[in-house]
Amino acid sequence: MKSLALFSLTLLTIGACKQKTESTEQRVVITGIDSTKKPGDDFFTYANGIWYDTIKIPDSQTGVGSYSFLNYPQRLRLQGILDSVSASKNTAGSIGQQVGDFYASGMDTNTINKRGFEPIKPILARIDEISDVSSLLKLVVEEQKAGNSTIVGFYVGPDDKQSTVNIGQFFQTGIGLPERDYYFKGDSATIKIQKAYQNYLAKLFELTGTDVTSAQKNATISYSIEKQLASAHRTNVELRDVKANYNKLAVSILSKKQPAMNWTGLLANLGAKVDSVNVGQPAYYDKLNAMLKSVPVADWKVYLKAHALTNYSNFLSQEFVNASFAYSKILTGQAVKQTRAEEMTRAVDQSLGEALAQLYVKKYFPESAKKRMAVLVDNLKKAFEARIDRLDWMSDSTKAKAKDKLYAFTQKIGYPDKWRDYSKVTVKRDTYFENRLSANKNDYLYNLNRLGKPVDRNEWYTTPPTVTAYNNPPLNEIVFPAGILQPPYFDVNADDALNYGGIGMVIGHEITHSFDDQGAQYDKVGNVTDWWTKADYAKFKAKTQQVIDQYNAFTVLDSVHIKGALTVGENTADIAGVAIAYDAFKLTEQGKDTTKLDGFTSDQRFFISIARIWRVKTRDQYMAMYVNTNPHSPAKWRVNGPLMNFTPFYKAFNVQPGDKMYKPEKDRIVVW
């Protein structure tokens, strides 16, 4: 559930897991509660502890349970579809032929292994032909169009100050480690990752026939360039600053400021002949401009080869795939590689996502879910409007604008009204590498075709089978794909307590993203503008600072703490999402009733459902990376953090002073 307010359209995934429940007389029965635990001490463990202590993380996975990890069983569903369609006789040019042949080409490891690194040789040869900065930048653009973003990051998306129009956008890039700080930390765990990454680069050069000494030297050269680029990167926290990441500049000004970049020629080669662009992180391009003059062309060629090899390694023979996994294993703690079928299922989803989605929706998605979701969304919007009306810190004028924005939402449920066309992607059963490049090039042209045109508000930024939900502030939309409309988030057989605690909380969370630290800066049509009074916005910032301070205190691994400033948007949405969902639930018949089911009151079932949708267990290495890079808090604190601020939870489970989750009522955070 991530808002799409920055330079990239990275989706906030909220995943799910299979509850240990039973269906009795067309309802869901709650089981697996650890009654030895006190709810007010650690509600996550009370609701999930038995599961957590007994579940085993599959060797091929970094975690198990809900959140993004429900995409693992989702991929098994998609794999079943692909196994079937790839074995069938399909009409040429049909969806079945495209996705089936694409999948089959990736499953044909014999052919892939026989080809070795032959498919990438033409790219390496073109790098060898680079003679100066001009030819270097041409190669960079050529690779950008094929899905390999090296030193220039470019996409087309809505103008934050004129959200009806798409403009060219540039963002910081150029590094291979997860984010900038990995290059500068000196702790043992980070050093281990740095060394593993450099060994990975060296191994890739060795696999292309470079001797060991030269391969290690090449790895050092490439890593040194990355570290220089990383020094100019903004941190993940700084990337949350919407206004600081909007720098729309005339190409003529950029050309004078950064002459080595040759902005006019660069844009022409990208196919983006425009007179202005947004440069999200100008300091990065200042640094790149300087490095294009200071770093020898020979070193740049080594760097470009390293990034071509890392970008395409998983498209090549098994030796390259193994090298990639050896590094990934150190970074994430994943014990063994995923099956080839799982990897190829993910590849099809990435390359031909909406084609595969059509087959998924037809087989697995009930239209009844779409209708019921529409009702739930409407109820949550009404509940949020009532909460706005009751706010004691916001003026009437700002409240009116907030409600205008709320009812200007576009809501998308299940799948797009119009499916994307992939007819320009060339797919053959024996050319996996070329199939991937063809799909990448098609994606680039698809994105480029938006340039200078009105924003298509019907477009989706995730594939429908994905277990996710997101808020996109420039379009003022909330999106709930088919993938998340399944247990434990949504179940047609579940009572309202479970559905409002599940998908209702998700809906409330996504609504709130339009009013979190980033979303609150966008107006009802998606423009970044000051629609608040100064006094109201100051009060809002003070409240979000309370959220930052609370989550900074939560410990994840030993002495590792949650980064409150990085996760503030998600934490704010979690806190409000619970409250909005609860208010909407209280409007239902069950919400007004005190009858117990399975020994739990309706309110208790609601809160247990919230805990179950964040039921997750991960490897420690993965969690260490997650805390450093992800804007969401770990699952435990997505449960305990919001609930310790919500008074109805205290009443439902008799939370008292002395309980570990207890906060005096005056200290409980209420933003919305």
Of 508, 412, 502, nearest to 460 by C-alpha is 412
Q: What pLDDT digit, counting tens, does each position of 632-667 carry?
A: 999 999 999 999 999 999 999 999 999 999 999 999
Neighbours of 486 (CB within 10 A): 21
Neighbours of 367 (CB within 10 A): 9
Q: What pLDDT digit, counting tens, does each position of 210-267 carry?
A: 999 999 999 999 999 999 999 999 999 999 999 999 999 999 999 999 999 999 999 9
Q: How far is CA 316 from CA 145, 194, 279, 327, 432, in A?
A: 19, 24, 34, 16, 9
Residue 1 scores a pLDDT above 60: no
Q: What is the pLDDT of residue 12?
A: 32
The residue written with tokens 């989605």 in the block is 357
User: Residue 487: CB partners within 8 Å, gap ≥ 6?
Assistant: 16, 18, 19, 21, 28, 494, 502
Dist. CA 605–CA 582, nearest whole Å: 11
Return the CATH number of the domain spanning residue range 131-301: 1.10.1380.10
Going from N- to C-terminal start, the domains of the chain cover 2-66+365-416+460-667, 131-301
pLDDT mean over 542-558: 96
Dist. CA 579–CA 171, nearest whole Å: 36
Contact 100, 82 (CB under 8 A): yes
Of 275, 517, 314, 522, nearest to 404 by C-alpha is 522
What confidence category does residue 26 fall into, taking pLDDT thresholds of 50, 70 and 90?
A: low
Return the CATH number of the domain spanning residue range 2-66+365-416+460-667: 3.40.390.10
Whether this model's pTM surpasses 0.85:
yes
Residue 444 scores a pLDDT above 90: yes
3-state secondary structure of 146: coil
Q: What is the pLDDT of residue 28?
A: 87
